[in-house]
Structures are given as structure tokens and as C-alpha cells.
A and B are shown apart, each in its own frame.
Chain A
Amino acid sequence: MKETSIIISGFGGQGTLFSGQVLAYAALDNNFNVTWIPSYGPEMRGGTASCTVIISKEEIGSPLVRNPDISVVLNLPSLDKYEHLTKSGGCLVANSSLINRGLNRDDLKNVYIPANEIAEEIGLSRMANMVMIGGMLCLAPVLSLEVVKQALSEHIPERHRRTLPMNFDAMQRGYEFAEQALAEVAA
């Protein structure tokens, strides 16, 4: 793996920026180079919020990419934007709770995860972002689930520390859901 680019996109408030930061911390803690950059335009106010994370063993040039290796889309506008931009042969993780259509191309490894429903089962709807991250780590094992959990426990803001077990649970369930979905496709 030379360099892996990940775009995480959803509505403002879905936690896309934070979940990207968790990946960035995990990458740094495991001796990768990493960049995290948010979209900070006016679109953030009430619209789409996205961030780009690049993980590499080498020095990272551009922190932005036109065609990400991995797209994690939490809502329909994000799928509409990033489906055709994702690199051929790349990965796409979609939140089926808020996305009611399939893909228009067949060259992407992909998995649909009902992230909001899973988060509500856990008891905190805000965990949908972590469910998606869990699913992503199964589909595209850039980092292991364990190191991401470790990074989260070390970098979660103090005021949210009590939600740590739920975050872990969310990632785990997202990972397992993706694992099962992929096994069904393979079978």
C-alpha cells in the first residue's frame, strides 16, 4: 500500500469529521504519515460535511484527492457526489438507513450498512458514524479495528468519555455487519 485516500461524507452533525480524525490518530499512532482536511466552505452550514484522510508510509504531498480509494457516504447527496469519483476498483461504504438506491457502477467493492438503525439499537443515534467506520475497516482493512479502537480511547474528548463503550460497540457491530454482508455476497 503506497497511499490510501479516504473521503467520509454526510450531513453536518453526523460526525463525519470526527470519525476521520479517529482514523488519523490511529494512523499516526501506528507510524503512518497522515493528513486530515475538512471541507470548510459555506456548504458546512446546514449542508454536507466531509473530510479527506490520507494515510501513507511515505511523505504526503497533496492533502486533497479528486478520486479517493475509499468513500464512506452517510447520506444520499454524498453518494451522488462520490460514487462516480471513487477510484475504479476502490471501496464504497454506504449508509442504507438514509440511502435508498443501489450503485450505478459495478467496479467498486461495496457494502451497505443500516448505520442509523444499528446505532439506535446501541441506544445512541449519534454512533452511526462509528458503525460506518467499523464497516469500512472490514471492507478496506487500511488499519485494524483494534488500533482504531485504541486510538479512540486515547483521543476521545473527556466530555464524551462515558460513550466510549458505545463507540466500541458501534464499530464492532458495523464491522460484523459488513463481514456478514460480504460473506453472503461471496456465497
Chain B
Amino acid sequence: MAKELLKGNEAFAEAAIRAGCEGFYGYPITPSTEFLEYMAKRMPQLGRAFVQAESEVAAVNMVYGAACTGKRTMTASSSPGISLMMEGISYIAGTEVPAVIVNVIRGGPGLGNIAPSQGDYYQMVKGGGHGDYFPIVLAPASVQETVDCIILAFDLADKYRSIVHVIVDGNLGQMMEPAELPPMRELPKEPPEWAVTGAKGREPNFLSSIYIDPADEEVTNIRLVKRWMEIEKNEVRYNELMMEDAEFAVIGFGTAGRVASSAVRAAREEGIKVGLFRPISLAPFPKKEVEEISKRVQRILVVEMNSGMMLDDIVPLVEGRVPVEFYGRMGGMTPFPDEILDEIRRVSENKAPVNGNARAEWIARLEKIVEEGK
């Protein structure tokens, strides 16, 4: 199929349908609403389930219930809506059923605003819900990559009986960009063997997240940890731009990584040997790759649309080998390429030793930038 000009949220919803999503349950919230609107129209046409629930809490529990039947199920929401879903997300994790959850992140904390942000990094990557569990988190940077990640998300969710979060922001949700949708997948004829589908003629299956005896819960915890170790081994994904001969590395994901790619190209034209490392799987995080990078570059600049949350994951991997600096915008502000280019220029000339407080140095610079009205 040829590339078409596709609107982010609508393309993501269609990708989910083509991946075999048979149940969508959600509650509208900007900037993810078009996802739900598209599902409201398309799912009934295909004889699949769509419910606009009375709240996010209800929606995520519908996802939970439907996932227990072995059908591919999902929801899409945005930051405050995802917070409301966290209890159900933990139950889904504890029950070990697959589910795909798309978060179109917006500015926060609190009600915040509807502008693009990456401020939910901790909530998504570190779990967000209560208890011991590890979600898979994918952070694409273009309409095409998001389409591909949504398909992948369903496959990974099934493979590992895991929650897969796909995190984007309003830039990706609202923009139009040429992309190619995959062909429609055939729906599976048989449910997976663990699914609860009526036990006529077989032993009943039982799905629950309750383990009253802590010893039983611990057995489950061990299984979840071992499964996560398997995921860490198999499912790391990332993208590199001009990293082969790079003396400086920019590390950024999603929109921040994409904006940084413009700055990296511009810096290369000025003769600065800089490259971009863009993690696509934030969980599992490309730890080994970041370690390797820190052994061959002079300095690292982490760029995010939050207060340096991925930075906190990168600093321990670098182990002080090279200085790690940070640049971020917050509150729904998307950096422009020239801001990141200024940072690349500064970092490439900075010979100061590791200071260990990239966040404090950045906040001082950011306050000046904000004062100047940039």
C-alpha cells in the first residue's frame, strides 16, 4: 500500500484495528479524543466492541474484563485520564492479561493543559500503579513509527501477557504526516488457552489478581520478574542518527528526540561531531547501548519535555565516565530546534568536569531563556 497523508490519532486507531483489536473502551479527553471518535465509528462497522464508558475507571475495568476473554483490547487516554486508570492497570498486571494502553501525554501536573508533554515518564516507565509489576513502554516519534509501535504493542502484550503502554503527545496525535498502514490482520480462530471463555468440556480457567496467601503472591511476583528479565533481553528498541563517529551524543525520545534530530543535523553542518540516540522502548530501557555510548563520546546531552526524568535513568548508566548535561522544556512547551542547537554548541565547547547536578545547572539556564521570552 502507498503512503497516505494520515492524521496521527486516527492513524493510530486504524492501526489498532488492523492489529486485531476487538474491544475499545474509553472516555474522551483532549488531546486523545480523535482516537476514541475514530473507534466509535469504525469498531461497530466491523462488528467489534466499542464502549464510551461513564468514566476512565469504568473504561479500564472494561478493558480488564474483555482482556480476560483473550481478545485483543485497548484504551487510549491522556495524562489525567491515565492517572484515573492506574488502579485497573495494576489489576491487569496482577492478573497477567494482555492490554494496550495509549497515553497522549499533556502538560501537567494536575489538570495542567492540553499541550504536548513528556511529564508522565515516571508514571509510565516506573509502573504508575501499585505493586510489583513492569509494563512495557514504547515511545515512537513519527506517525509511521507510532502505527508500527501499536501493532508491535499488541504482539508484545500477547507474547508476554503484559501491559504495553504506547506513549505519544499532542504533536504526534494532531499532526498529519505520510504513513503506510499495514494490511488488516485476520482475527485468531481460537482464544489463548488461559482465557475465560466458558468452560464447557474442559477444566475451568481462573483469572484474578488476588493471592490472599503472601507465599502464593510471591510465586506470582517471581514469575513476573523472570518474565521481565526475558523482556529486557529481547525487546530493547532504539534509533540512531549519525552516531558512528559522534564525539557528542544527544539522547532524547519521542517528540523531543525528533526535534533534536533537526538540531543534530544543523550542528553537523557547523562541523560539530554530534549524533542522536533515540530510545524507542523506554521500558525495557536500552541500558547496554547507553553504557557503550558513554565509553566513546566526550559528553552527553539529554533532551526531554519534562524535568529530566529519563536523565535520572541515564546518569547511573554513565557511571561518571563523561559529563551528562540536560535540556528540557516543561508544562506543555515543545522546544524548537534552535534551542537544542544552542545547547549542542554549548555542550560541545564545555570542558568542565562532571558536576553531577545537570538538573540544577539546567534550571538556571532555563529561567533565563523563559525570562527572555523564547
Contacts and interface: CB of A to CB of B under 8 A. Distances in A.
Given A61-B261, A62-B258, A64-B259, A40 B336 contact: no
A66 B335 CA distance: 9
The winner among B4, B175, B260 for most chain A CB atoms within 10 A is B175
A148 interface: no
B5 A61 contact: no
A24 interface: yes
Nearest to A33: B178
Interface string B282-323: 000000000000000000000000000000000000000000
A21 B176 contact: yes
Interface in B326-355: 334, 336-338
Contacts of A60: 262
B159 interface: no
Interface string A41-84: 11000000000000000011111111100000000000000000
A33 B5 CA distance: 10
A34 B261 contact: no
B258 A37 contact: no
B310 to A, nearest CB: 19
A34 B174 contact: no
A36 B176 contact: yes
Contact of B338 (A28, A40, A66): A66
Nearest to A17: B176
A35 interface: yes
Given A28-B178, A34-B177, A36-B175, A62 B5 contact: no
Contact of B337 (A24, A42, A62): A62
Nearest to B143: A35
Given A41-B114, A61-B258, A61-B259, A35 B176 contact: yes
Contacts of A59: 261
Nearest to B340: A62
A59 B171 CA distance: 17
A121 B263 CA distance: 46
Contacts of B263: 61
A25 B7 CA distance: 12
B197 to A, nearest CB: 42
B178 A34 contact: yes
Give the interface size class of chain B: 20 to 34
Contacts of A36: 5, 175-177
Contact of A38 (B4, B115, B174, B334): B174
Interface residues of A, number: 22
A61 B174 CA distance: 16
B31 interface: yes
A64 B5 contact: no
Nearest to B8: A37
A148 to B, nearest CB: 14
Contact of A64 (B30, B171, B261): B171
A41 B30 CA distance: 10
A66 B178 CA distance: 23
Contacts of B177: 34-36, 63
A61 B262 contact: yes
Nearest to B334: A64
B70 interface: no
Contacts of B71: none
A34 B114 contact: no
Given A42-B114, A62-B258, A28 B5 contact: yes
B3 interface: yes
Contacts of B261: 59, 61-62
A63 B171 contact: yes
B175 A35 contact: yes
A166 B262 CA distance: 39
B337 A37 contact: no
Interface string B175-187: 1111000000000
A69 to B, nearest CB: 14
B174 A40 contact: yes
Contact of A34 (B5, B171, B262, B265): B5
A62 B259 contact: yes
A24 B5 contact: yes
A62 B265 CA distance: 11
B170 interface: yes
Nearest to A21: B176
Interface string B103-141: 000000000011100000000000000000000000000
A42 to B, nearest CB: 7
A28 B334 CA distance: 25
26 contacts: A21-B176, A24-B176, A28-B3, A28-B4, A33-B178, A36-B175, A37-B171, A37-B175, A37-B176, A40-B170, A41-B115, A42-B114, A59-B261, A61-B258, A61-B261, A61-B262, A61-B337, A62-B259, A63-B171, A63-B177, A63-B258, A64-B259, A65-B336, A66-B336, A66-B337, A67-B338
Given A21-B176, A34-B5, A41-B114, 6 more contacts: A24-B5, A40-B170, A61-B258, A61-B263, A64-B334, A64-B336
Interface of A: 21, 24-25, 28, 33-38, 40-42, 59-67
